[in-house]
Structure 1
Amino acid sequence: MKKIAVAIPAYNHAPFIAGALESVFAQNWPELEVHILDDGSSDDTAAVAERTRAKAPVGLSVRIDRQDNRGSARTINRMIDRIDADYVAILNSDDLYAPGRLAAFAARAEGEDLFFGVSGVEFIESGQTEDFSLFSEWYRSKFDRAAQLPTFGFAFVLSNISVTSSNFFFSRALFDLADGFDPALTLTQDWDFALRAVRWTEPVLLPERLLLYRAHPGNTWRRLQGVRREQSEQVLRNFVARSAAPTLNRLAPSPINWPAYLPAFLRICRPVFGDEPLGAYFPPEWLAAPAGAVDPASPEGDALHRLFVAAQRGPSEEMPLDESLAAATDHWARIRAAPRR
């Protein structure tokens, strides 16, 4: 049986970390270990974690360490560097796992050396969060469009559709190939990691909402809104710089793998990339349609047809979230399993 390690970076989440840990303790996977690293919290996060450790099932290894504040990416990298397990799951100390999450991923990852998966997300509110309803609406709209894309990788180009690093479940070997999380990106390191991981393996979506993301006034993205745009631009620049080279994952979004589809995808989705010209993000040659017709029966021909149909849809035609999650899962699974030239 494969071993799973849960890495919990903890920072100033004393009111929430007990719930996070208990949601891990309730997972039905026998080969499990838990690593908690308190990143210099100024509250009682570490003390609450120590008290909650007493509730762990007999035989479950729970390691708690502390360090001076170094930031989320360095904290996650440090934990995973010392983990010796087949798979790693991340859980931020204010989020929760739904029952059966780890077992569902382990079953889906069976037989794959390099695996990267995320699940559907349920949003939960803690305290007064004025814009709470916007979370679910943003998420629903993203997956409604993403269900028309040929791969999960293209959905990641548009945005961090996984929502949070708490949603990541990946093979330990993939972490090394993707070079971990970038400490220079304090807000978008999870999105950047996902786009690097996609170069090695095609992501898998579990449509069930197996992660509970806690929306509250202290969320990191709220505290760092001033750097969001700058770091989002850097993620796209990193993506472009890496995409000139061949990828192990032949479905990864790149000009090499999708010469006809990528230019149309970028042009149609241009509002997503902000007000600046697309040339500020992507080289001009990426935006030019290739010469010659595309076979409509080919994977790229089918993908182009879906893209154009989706672009013409109105808001009234958008699907409910659970339908979008199921549609994306089925569509991407078929593309993933089909032969690729």
Structure 2
Amino acid sequence: MKKQTLTLAAALTAAATSAQAGIDRSGQDIGVLFEEGNYFKFSFANVSPNITAPAVGPFTSTSQSAVDFSTFSFGYKHQFNEKLSFALIWDQPYGADIQYVDGPAAGGFAFIDSSQITGILRYEMGNGFSVHGGAFSQKISGRVLTASGLLEADSEREWGGVAGVAYEKPEIALRVALTYFSGIDHQLTGTHALPPGAHPFFPAGVSTAAAGTVSMPEAFNLDFQTGIAQNTLLFGSIRHAKYDGISLDTTSTLGDVAPGAANDVNWVNFVDDVTSYELGIGRKLNDNWSVALMLGYEEGAETGTTFLAPAGSSKSIGLGATYTHENIKISGGVRYTKFSEKVVNGVPFEGDALSAGVSIGIGF
């Protein structure tokens, strides 16, 4: 029951990926570290969001702001001995896929990608307690188009740290794990194409070299599970990501035409931390099949100053199933997410998203 329901939780987490209040996608999940023995897992999710605004002022059509996207992750866990194990995880922790078809932000977009490689050691101290820690390498890249122009930039790989503690009581399938991820400061390099009329020296527009900074938030993950009846498990998680104060800022050098001059742009600001809550119940039907139901809530700001973050708070419901045969587990999940209204520069946005995910795990 323990292994099957944990895989259900992972599948539902993958399916929960959506256009959220922040730019979280994977939740930096390290669940593979707690699988038994040696283990490999692959996860895939596809998300179809629908976030719109009604006609505003002279605009007579609805603005569609979010577009479909997919995410992948891989995880490998190796058990060295009874006390020491190691996990290597590749995922896409942050991202954005925003494109405005019409309305006051028509033509604007933001496509942000990230990749992260995490290595974690776990040491079991006895009496149910264990500690885990390691490091992760993260890279981001993206394209953003606003009234300030087109920014295309990426970062080198930067390093951060992860540390945590867990308690387990196998006889009642109890586990509580707290994990901390450090924030990372990224130095960005790329180009900034100024639109016509944006600078007096370049009335027709110009493409310039750009450099800037952006930080990915530090975060705390609390994951838990416990048996509540025969073949029945209660599980859930809380994630708090410290987005407040994070911004994307660049400086473009204007070259020989205007020596010493520069063009500073603030592309996006986050003004609130983001906390996500999930609670689920799993049920083992027989030796091969398990099912699960999960509810979720994510806090988000009701107002904002950037059209690049139109999603407010969200509520979600997810369903999943796992099929187990010998050392192979296949899990699938679907999730429906409803976003509350968020007012961005006077324009109200709301909508929903449908997500589907699958996870394949092999023990050996």
TM class by smaller structure: under 0.3
Query: Rg larger in 1 or in 2?
Result: 2
Structure number with higher strand proportion:
2
Q: State the TM-score, normalized to the length of structure 1.
A: 0.24
Structure number with higher helix proportion:
1
